[in-house]
């Protein structure tokens, strides 16, 4: 099972059509996920990592929508009387309101969010919301669903799960809420769990517990996890593979070791330099930060989106050419003009200028 | 990144463009920098201008207040001038062009009236007589008045060319919006009514504002027991039906009071009940701001409490207050209109929209003279305009919101 | 829950006390007292003034004694004997004039409340879900206009239109043949046939306001994370809408009863004067005009009291609907 492809994003573009113009939140993102792996998507706020995650389930908030690209999901279906059937569906091609996409949501792919307080309804009980998720996709009676909900709550480590079924979110602590949220997301044995900054709103000890829980559950339920985060510590702890995003594009991707030990893209390098380390202060070294700000989403810089903040900026190249994905060994990819044949690229620019 | 100040000619090495020395080096995109450096008020104005209904409301509101200011000039007749001859005379349409021997010329006129006797009801009814023409003129001389109690003048925007200076009578009938029970000009009375109704809105809101900001401020800034008492008072005032209470209080005003005293009496009654909404807004803002860091630091810097409130806190929610004020004027206007309509508010000879609508209180007079309802239109237009304006201001007051 | 209700009832007591004080103040405000007016009116109609009766009345109301004694005599009469005093204009005890009209007033107000809800709720939802659509703009414009037209003006215009074009009178609550008839099913049906006119007129402003509130509340809720969660579960848009955001937006909607009810009672007072309905409004106006203050004061007090009780009921309903209120207090 492991090693098989689960999800492929191909040139995904999601745009927001606002009064002030079009925001290209996700601008041609491609990557692949394997069954049973944990993929971390990292980047600063506003880099499009959350929108990418939401695009997969087609739950991008109005006025945003997926405008281009493919989201190929390899679904295993147990059909009646037959053995497992493997089918590939393009989620990007489905109508966001259609039955087909709703069948995937919560069943094959489920999602948990950053703010467990606001991500659960304040006026419905935990049990109500979990049972709803179960009964939506599985043909079970109310009692069976309830029993399953209790079982799930117990599994995610909520004490006295039977009582908690009737609790409201405001009666639980932050950690407990996120556990309830995870229980809900597991209710139909999804093959992919998308976790959008699941620990950001929690305190540090609770964070660690939740991450541990997710790792355990991943193996137990045999699912893959796509973890959206800005926290490189979380990435180091959880990831098999890493996708680094900047301004709606993939800057670099690779397995966790090569990303951390041999970052190629100047942005990844800068990100890694900005992690605080113990003892630096005693040595009189100041923490690095990436200079400048993320550019205005309405006015994306031309060429490489990172060139306005890049230390290795090459005038005439980086602000003119959009870097193509450059393969750097197996499963490793970087989009930066420092790598690959610069002269060929420069020629390419000449041509594109002429064409215009 | 270095921050030394260099001459203006210094260029940004990335974009090759000369930049201002004060600008941060990562040369913001043009539009972006405009958003980042724009002052709060510039942002508000920009957001407000996008709100088309609010712009429209603002323009209408300004127009209405111009009527308030120039009432004497705009009204063809004094508000109390009457004519026993033309009771319930219908509106005369204003014609701008007339057939003269030299062809169509600009020569404004209105038609006169013919009197018919209704054989059934034995009532006089007026019909517009197309044969008779009464020449009128713009910027013409009419009844003398004293503008703002200061300047003497007798120029009116529109009026009959022949006129009689007697301020109490209308001899030449020019009733663009018809006449009432005593043959008074509805248009002129409406213009004078605008002055009173709109002023009562302003004065009432000013009084509510004083009460609201004081009590709401105390409530929000100090909290505790005082807050509790003030909140209970607000809840109390909001939980009882206002019109019966207003009626009771207004009826208690001594009948011996002069019209001016009644005016202020009514305004005070209205604002006594109307301050609660403002107090809530102010209190909410104070509660939110009290814990903000900039307020704390102002206090730690040794500012007095009064100074902290007036210099640091109030400016940060001033725009919200302005919006709430604008939104509470319509309530005042409607309340005054209702009370006066019932005969418990302002009294003749003071003219307000409500006093005018009182003329239309029974179905008989409305049936004979539907134009008596026109002041109601003024109420609706004014309230709508102020609501549009207030909504736009409220949205603009939070320029960083979505 | 029971504890919550008890606490709210307890909180209501000071409010009711203040209401009684204000009403008493209104009774006391006009110059001269009740007896002086009575003597004057009796003298005007040529009746002989009965000294003994006067003295009894003086004793009864504590006239000439300090204000707090008068207040005590007045309020204890009401609380202990249901005695609201005497209407000198009608020469009847206030209580005989009061209850029938008060019942009609509250019936109209409650019907109006339901009417505004039934109309405003779906329109508000539609407006929010289809934000910036044609329907939304129309609803918004109607909303603004509805708020801007005073109730009595709508009543006047409607009366004019009915009179002019249909030659009908829209005033009153009963047809002439039922005016003084005893209550039976036919009279009740006749009442309902007349009732919708004031209900619609009084309801206009309230409906407009509620549409705006429902729309704004729902717009706030529609983009909350829990809606995204529910969508990510695979719920259909319709089920999701009704189960989550609409349900949450319903709570502030219910809490608006607290101020719509007073507004409706206010509106009823003024509309019933224009339409000459046999409710409290016209009688209150007449009482105030002729300074029949015990009648006026009692009306004001009871209207306020019943409104406060109505608000209390809406609070209880809200607590029942919203676990956050029910369980955290």
Distance CA C285, CA C270 (A): 9
Q: Is the pLDDT of residue A106 over 80?
A: yes
Asked if residue A257 is part of any domain, the answer here is no
Same-domain pairing of A285 and A222: no
Dihedral angle sign, alpha carbons of residues A246, A249, A252, A256 = positive
What ipTM does the predicted assembly reach?
A: 0.83
In a domain, A289, yes or no: yes
Detail the DSSP E strand segments found in A121-270.
Answer: 192-196, 224-229, 241-246, 249-255
Residues 6+ away with beta carbon under 8 Å from A244:
A42, A43, A250, A251, A252, A253, A259, A265, A267, A268, A271
Sign of CA dihedral A19, A21, A24, A25: negative
Q: Which of residues 190-229 of A touch C (CB under 8 A)?
A: none
Is residue A6 within a helix (H) or strand (E), and if so which, with residue range?
strand A5-18
- A→B interface, C-beta within 8 Å: 291-293, 295-296, 298-299, 301, 307-309, 313, 315, 319
Residue A296 with chain B: CB contacts under 8 Å: 28-29, 31-32, 35
If you average pLDDT over every residue of chain B, what do you get? Answer: 78
Cα(C200)–Cα(B283) distance, integer angstroms: 36
The single-letter DSSP state of residue B203 is H
Q: Name the residue in chain B with its Cα closest to that of A294.
A: B28
Nearest CA in chain A to C228: A59
Q: Which domain holds residue A156?
A: 5-246
Sequence-ordered strand ranges (E) for A146-303: 192-196, 224-229, 241-246, 249-255
Contact C285, C271 (CB under 8 A): no
In tens, the pLDDT along C143-195 reads 888 888 888 888 888 888 888 787 777 767 777 777 777 778 888 888 887 88
Residue A305 and residue A235 in one domain: no
Closest CA to B317 of B212, B222, B207, B202: B212
Whether A313 is covered by a domain: the verdict is yes
Beta bridge partners of B117: B124
- A102 and A17 together in one domain: yes
Q: Where a domain ends, among A228, A246, A264?
A: A246
Tell me the average pLDDT across B130-158.
80
Query: CATH number, domain at A130?
Result: 3.40.50.300
Tokens 């994003």 — which residue? A9
Looking at residues C229-254, what average pLDDT do you find? Answer: 87
Is residue A216 one of the residues assigned to a domain?
A: yes
The answer to whether C226 contacts A136, with C-beta atoms less than 8 Å apart, is no
Task: Give A62→chain C minimum CA distance, Å.
Answer: 9
Nearest-neighbour CA in chain B from C302: distance (Å): 10
Of A81-95, A336-350, B87-101, C222-236, give the range with the top mean pLDDT.
C222-236
Q: Is the pLDDT of residue A293 over 70?
A: yes
A253 domain-assigned: no
Q: Given a cut of 90, is residue B360 above it in pLDDT?
A: no
User: What are the residues facing A255 on neighbouring strands?
Assistant: A241
Tell me the angle at which helices C185-222 and C134-148 cross, rounded to the nearest 10 degrees. 120
Note whether A237 and A282 are same-domain residues.
no
Of C14, C148, C151, the CB nearest to B380: C148
Give residue-wise pLDDT tens across range A34-62: 988 999 999 888 788 889 999 999 998 87
Q: Quick check: A274 contacting C, CB < 8 Å?
A: no
Considering chain B, tell me which residue range(s) the CATH 1.10.3720.10 domain(s) occupy: 190-396
**Which of the 8 DSSP states describes residue A156?**
T
Residue B116 in contact with partner chain A when CB distance is under 8 A: no
- Determine contact, residues B172/B137, Cβ cutoff 8 Å: no
Packing angle, helices C257-274 and B224-239, rounded to 10: 30
C-alpha B74/C-alpha C162 separation (Å) is 35
In this structure, chain C runs to a length of: 329
Q: Are A187 and A199 in contact (CB under 8 A)?
A: no
Q: Please tell me whether residues A66 and A127 are part of one structural domain.
A: yes
- Distance CA(C305)–CA(C314), nearest Å, equals 14
Same domain (yes/no): A167, A294: no
> Does A254 fall in a domain?
no
Based on the fold, state whether residues A225 and A311 are members of the same structural domain: no
Asked if pLDDT for residue B28 goes beyond 70, the answer is no
B/C interface, count of CB pairs below 8 Å? 136
Alpha carbon distances (Å) from B257 to B244, B250, B261, C199, C285: 22, 12, 6, 37, 20
Residue B331's nearest CA partner among B378, B275, B285, B281 is B275
Same domain, A346 and A200: no
What's the CATH number for B190-396? Answer: 1.10.3720.10
Domain end position, chosen among A222, A246, A270? A246
Give the C-alpha separation, A167 to A158, whole Å: 12
Local structure of residue C173 (DSSP, 8 states):
S
In a domain, A125, yes or no: yes
Supply the pLDDT for residue A148. 93
Which of C25, C102, C153 should one mutate to test binding to chain B, selecting the residue with the greatest count of B CBs within 10 A?
C153
Q: Which residues are B125's β-sheet partners?
A: B116
pLDDT the model gives residue B15: 41
Do residues A98 and A193 both lie within one domain?
A: yes
Q: Is the pLDDT of residue C35 over 80?
A: no
Question: Which residue segments constitute the domains of chain C, with CATH numbers given?
Answer: 18-94 (no CATH), 103-328 (1.10.3720.10)
| Residue in A with minimal Cα distance to C325 | A123
pLDDT beyond 50 at A354: no
Question: What integer best gives the mean pLDDT of chain C?
Answer: 82
Task: Indicate whether A150 pLDDT > 90.
Answer: yes
pLDDT of residue B36: 53
**DSSP 8-state assignment for residue B311:** I
Chains that touch C (3 or more CB pairs under 8 A): A, B
Residues 6+ positions from B326 with CB-CB distance below 8 Å: B386, B389, B390, B393
Q: Which residues of A touch B27 (CB under 8 A)?
A: 308
Number of folded domains that form chain A:
2
Average of per-residue pLDDT across A236-259 = 90
List the single residue in C with minimal CA-CA distance to A122.
C324
C-alpha R_g of chain C: 24
What confidence tier does A151 reach under pLDDT thresholds 50, 70, 90?
Answer: very high
For residue A265, tell me if it sits in a domain. Answer: no
One domain for residues A86 and A211: yes
């Amino acid at each position: 099972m492991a090693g098989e492809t689960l999800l492929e994003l191909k040139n995904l573009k999601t745009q927001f059509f606002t009064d002030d113009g079009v925001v290209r939140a996700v601008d041609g993102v491609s990557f692949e996920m394997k069954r049973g792996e944990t993929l971390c998507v990292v980047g600063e706020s506003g880099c499009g990592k959350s929108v990418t995650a939401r695009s997969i389930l087609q739950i991008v908030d109005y006025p945003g929508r997926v405008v281009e690209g493919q989201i190929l999901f390899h679904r295993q279906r147990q059909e009646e009387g037959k053995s497992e059937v493997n089918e590939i569906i393009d989620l990007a091609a489905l109508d966001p309101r259609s039955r087909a996409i709703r069948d995937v949501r919560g069943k094959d792919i489920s999602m948990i969010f950053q703010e467990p307080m606001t991500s659960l309804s304040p006026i419905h009980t935990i049990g109500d919301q979990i049972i709803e998720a179960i009964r939506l996709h599985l043909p079970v009676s109310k009692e069976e669903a309830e029993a399953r909900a209790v079982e799930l709550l117990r599994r995610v480590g909520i004490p006295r799960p039977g009582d908690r079924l009737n609790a409201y979110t405001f009666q639980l602590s932050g950690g407990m809420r996120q556990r309830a949220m995870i229980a809900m997301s597991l209710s139909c044995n999804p093959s992919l769990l998308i976790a959008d900054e699941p620990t950001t709103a929690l305190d540090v000890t609770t964070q660690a517990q939740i991450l541990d829980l997710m790792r355990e559950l991943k193996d137990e339920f045999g699912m893959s996890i796509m973890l959206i985060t800005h926290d490189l510590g979380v990435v180091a702890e959880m990831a098999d593979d890493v996708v680094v995003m900047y301004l709606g594009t993939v800057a670099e991707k690779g397995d966790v070791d090569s990303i951390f030990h041999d970052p190629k893209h100047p942005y990844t390098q800068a990100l890694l330099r900005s992690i605080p380390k113990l003892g630096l202060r005693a040595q009189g070294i100041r923490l690095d930060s990436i200079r400048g700000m993320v550019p205005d989403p309405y006015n994306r810089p031309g060429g490489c989106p990172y060139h306005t903040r890049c230390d290795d900026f090459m005038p005439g190249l980086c602000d003119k050419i959009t870097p193509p994905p450059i393969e750097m060994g197996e499963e490793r990819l970087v989009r930066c003009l420092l790598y690959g044949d610069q002269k060929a690229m420069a020629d390419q620019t000449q041509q594109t200028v002429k064409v215009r | 990144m270095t921050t030394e100040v260099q001459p203006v000619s210094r260029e940004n090495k990335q974009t090759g463009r000369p930049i201002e020395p004060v600008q941060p080096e990562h040369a913001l995109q043009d539009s972006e920098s405009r958003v980042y450096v724009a002052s709060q008020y510039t942002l508000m104005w920009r957001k407000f201008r996008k709100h088309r209904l609010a712009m429209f409301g603002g323009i209408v509101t300004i127009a209405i207040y111009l009527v308030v200011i120039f009432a004497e000039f705009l009204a063809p007749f004094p508000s109390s001038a009457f004519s026993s001859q033309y009771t319930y005379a219908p509106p005369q349409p204003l014609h701008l062009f007339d057939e003269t021997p030299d062809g169509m010329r600009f020569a404004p006129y209105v038609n006169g009236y013919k009197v018919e006797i209704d054989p059934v009801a034995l009532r006089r009814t007026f019909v517009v007589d197309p044969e008779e023409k009464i020449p009128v003129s713009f910027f013409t001389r009419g009844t003398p008045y004293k503008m703002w109690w200061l300047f003497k003048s007798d120029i009116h925007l529109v009026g009959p060319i022949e006129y009689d200076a007697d301020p109490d009578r209308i001899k030449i009938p020019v009733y663009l919006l018809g006449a009432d029970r005593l043959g008074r000009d509805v248009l002129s009375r409406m213009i004078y009514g605008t002055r009173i109704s709109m002023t009562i809105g302003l004065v009432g809101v000013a009084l509510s504002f004083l009460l609201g900001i004081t009590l709401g401020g105390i409530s929000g800034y100090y909290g505790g027991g005082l807050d509790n008492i003030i909140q209970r008072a607000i809840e109390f005032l909001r939980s009882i039906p206002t019109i019966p209470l207003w009626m009771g209080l207004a009826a208690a005003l001594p009948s011996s009071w002069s019209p001016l005293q009644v005016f202020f009496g009514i305004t005070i009654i209205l604002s006594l009940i109307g301050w609660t909404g403002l107090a809530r807004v102010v209190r909410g803002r104070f509660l939110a701001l009290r814990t903000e860091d900039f307020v704390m630091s102002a206090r730690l810097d040794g500012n007095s409490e009064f100074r902290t409130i007036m210099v640091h806190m109030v400016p940060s929610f001033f725009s919200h207050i302005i919006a709430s004020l604008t939104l509470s004027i319509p309530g005042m206007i409607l309340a005054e209109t209702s009370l006066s309509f019932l005969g418990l508010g302002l009294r003749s000879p003071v003219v307000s929209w409500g006093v005018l609508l009182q003329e239309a209180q029974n179905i008989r007079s409305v049936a004979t003279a539907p134009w008596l309802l026109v002041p109601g239109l003024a109420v609706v237009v004014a309230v709508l305009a102020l609501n549009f304006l207030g909504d736009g201001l409220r949205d603009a007051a939070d320029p960083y919101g979505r | 829950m029971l504890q919550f209700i008890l606490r709210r009832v307890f909180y209501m007591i000071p409010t009711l006390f203040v209401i009684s004080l204000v009403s008493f103040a209104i009774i006391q405000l006009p110059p001269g007292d009740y007896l002086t007016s009575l003597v004057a009116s009796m003298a005007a109609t040529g009746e002989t003034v009965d000294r003994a009766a006067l003295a009894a009345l003086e004793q009864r109301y504590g006239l000439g004694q300090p204000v707090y004694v008068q207040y005590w005599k007045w309020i204890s009469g009401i609380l202990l004997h249901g005695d609201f005093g005497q209407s000198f204009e009608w020469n009847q005890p206030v209580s005989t004039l009061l209850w029938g009209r008060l019942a009609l007033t509250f019936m109209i107000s409650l019907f109006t409340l339901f009417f505004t809800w039934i109309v405003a709720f779906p329109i508000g939802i539609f407006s929010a879900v289809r934000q910036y659509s044609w329907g939304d703009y129309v609803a918004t414009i109607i909303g603004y206009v509805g708020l801007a037209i005073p109730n009595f003006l709508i009543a006047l215009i409607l009366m004019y239109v009915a009179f002019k074009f249909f030659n009908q009178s829209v005033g009153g609550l009963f047809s002439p043949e039922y005016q003084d008839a005893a209550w039976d099913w036919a009279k009740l049906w006749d009442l309902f046939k007349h009732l919708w006119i004031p209900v619609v007129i009084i309801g206009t402003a309230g409906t407009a306001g509620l549409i705006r509130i429902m729309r704004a509340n729902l717009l706030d809720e529609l983009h909350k994370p829990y809606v995204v969660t529910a969508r990510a579960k695979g719920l259909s848009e319709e089920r999701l809408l009704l189960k989550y955001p609409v349900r949450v937006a319903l709570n502030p909607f219910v809490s608006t009863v607290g101020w719509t009810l007073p507004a409706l009672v206010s509106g009823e007072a003024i509309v019933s004067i224009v339409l000459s309905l046999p409710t409290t409004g016209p009688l209150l106006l007449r009482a105030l005009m002729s300074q029949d203050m015990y009648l006026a004061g009692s009306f004001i007090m009871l209207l306020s009291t019943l409104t406060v009780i109505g608000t209390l009921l809406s609070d209880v309903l809200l607590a029942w609907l919203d676990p956050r209120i029910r369980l955290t207090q």
